[in-house]
Amino acid sequence: MPNQNFKFATKAIHAGCQPDELTGAVMPPIYQTSTFAQEEPGVHKGYEYARASNPTRSVLEDNIAALENAQYGLAFASGMAAIDCVMKLLKPGDEVISTNDLYGGSYRLFTKVYATYGIKFHFACMQDFDAIDDLINDKTKMIWVETPTNPMLNIIDIELAAMMAHKNDLLLVVDNTFASPYLQNPIDLGADIVMHSATKYLGGHSDVMLGALVTDDEEIAQQLYFHQNASGAIAAPNDAWLVLRGIKTLHLRMQRHCENALEIAHFLRGHSAVEKVYWPGFEDHPNHEVAAKQMLRGFGGMISFTLKLDEYEAIKKVLKALDVFSIAESLGGVESLIGHPASMSHAALTKEERLANGISDALLRMSVGIEDVQDLKADLENALSLV
């Protein structure tokens, strides 16, 4: 593992990777094997059975840990599998406090799966730390934070959340998917566990699903490793390799995502067909100062906005008129995507739950890709002329 003091781009390309000892291969081989021969029972080269560990996965786990300035990394079959592993640290009777505009899949796992196992979830507006204080009792074990939030792009102060958690002996977990380790490093701000859907920016090419957990605490790492191996939702070696390849350009892609999003956020804000733009880079965004403090190198590639339309059929027409943007779930790939949270990513919520969190039927969410920004703007201009 190279020097932890290397700067981000160097770590992205080299951390965890060493030329293969056997052949000198510069890129880590894909170890497509389920088991590893032992010289005699119990005497092996550190690998026994590939559910417990696989060398290709190990390289990725070390790489992601290094990007988050932590010692321990774990890779899973998907982001949800990673979240599921964190939930296994809890037991019936425990309580969790989480953000109210949470990724729909996390909300479903919490309320439809773990709630039935006797874990209680509170969903709170994390801009108001007094309200969180009121929810904490002796059963509370964890604070689960996502920032920027999805899809409203609210910002939660990770440092404050960590202080609140540690004062009460709770774990702070941060879903860092939207920011990526290039823009935000929650471990440095006091988080105990960082979670990534590497399906998004880390993989970066919309061609693989994978999840990751990172921690700097050996005891937490041991518990997570136990559950990863016990439950078995591990990342496959091919998928680990694809994400490793994606990460080598993470810094370059994120720079362009941020530049393009900045330009498009301002373009949308100046457009007569647009009602409101949600983007933490605006100085009048309610949490802009926190974003500027904890997002190190930019405000990310995600923008949400509402049109001056409330008829679903009319909104659908605008979306279908887009040519470069694809109508799709997901985010973080090189290509630009746009979605309608009310009918897509957040369809699992009731209309009341959606509206309570600001997710109106007129809300659109885009993942700004790294295409030429002039083409993206022209595509939007063309579709918005229908409003």
Residue positions annotated with a catalytic role: 51, 103, 175, 200
Q: Tell me how far, at minimum, the Cβ of 324 lies from ligand PLP, in Å.
A: 22
Q: How far is the CB of 80 from ligand PLP (least distance, A)?
A: 4
Query: How many residues of this chain bind ligand PLP (CB under 6 A)?
Result: 16
Contact positions with ligand PLP (CB under 6 A) in 240-269: none
Q: Which amino acid is at 173?
A: V
Q: Which two tokens stand for residue 220?
A: 């937490």
Query: If DSSP codes are grouped into helix, strand and coil, which group holds residue 90?
Result: coil
Cα–Cα nearest to 203, from 78, 20, 52: 78
Q: State both tokens at 265.
A: 């956020």
User: Cα separation of 138 and 136, whole Å?
Assistant: 7
Cβ nearer to ligand PLP, comparing 151 with 281:
151
- Compute how many other C-beta atoms are within 10 angstroms of the C-beta atom of residue 378: 13
CB of 344 to ligand PLP, least distance (A): 12
For residue 372, which amino acid is it? D
- Tokens 């160097």 belong to residue: 10
Q: How many angstroms separate the CA atoms of 8 and 105, rounded?
A: 30
Smaller CB separation from ligand PLP, 200 or 354: 200
Q: How far is the CB of 382 from ligand PLP (least distance, A)?
A: 28
Q: Which of 208, 209, 258, 315 binds ligand PLP (CB under 6 A)?
A: 209
Of the candidates 106, 159, 169, 108, the residue with the CA atom closest to the CA atom of residue 137: 169
Beta carbon nearer to ligand PLP, 195 or 384: 195
Compute the distance between CA of residue 77 and CA of residue 197 in angstroms, rounded to an integer.
Answer: 10
Least gap, CB of 102 to ligand PLP (angstroms): 8
Q: Please give the structure tokens belonging to residue 120.
A: 């209680």
Q: Which of 151, 211, 281, 369 binds ligand PLP (CB under 6 A)?
A: 211
Terminal-residue alpha carbon distance, the chain: 54
Q: Which residues in 92-121 contact ligand PLP (CB under 6 A)? A: 103, 105-106
Among 54, 56, 100, 177, binds ligand PLP (CB under 6 A): 177
339 touches ligand PLP by CB under 6 A = no
**CA–centroid distance for 284 within its chain:** 25
Site for ligand PLP in 61-90 (CB under 6 A): 78-80
Residue nearest to ligand PLP (CB): 79
Cα–Cα nearest to 376, from 332, 323, 331: 323
Candidate list 199, 287, 304, 367; residue touching ligand PLP; CB under 6 A? 199
d(CA 365, CA 283): 20
Among 56, 99, 150, 185, binds ligand PLP (CB under 6 A): 150
> Judged by CB, which is closer to ligand PLP: 17, or 363?
363
Binding stretches for ligand PLP (CB under 6 A): 78-80, 103, 105-106, 146, 150, 175, 177-178, 197, 199-200, 209, 211
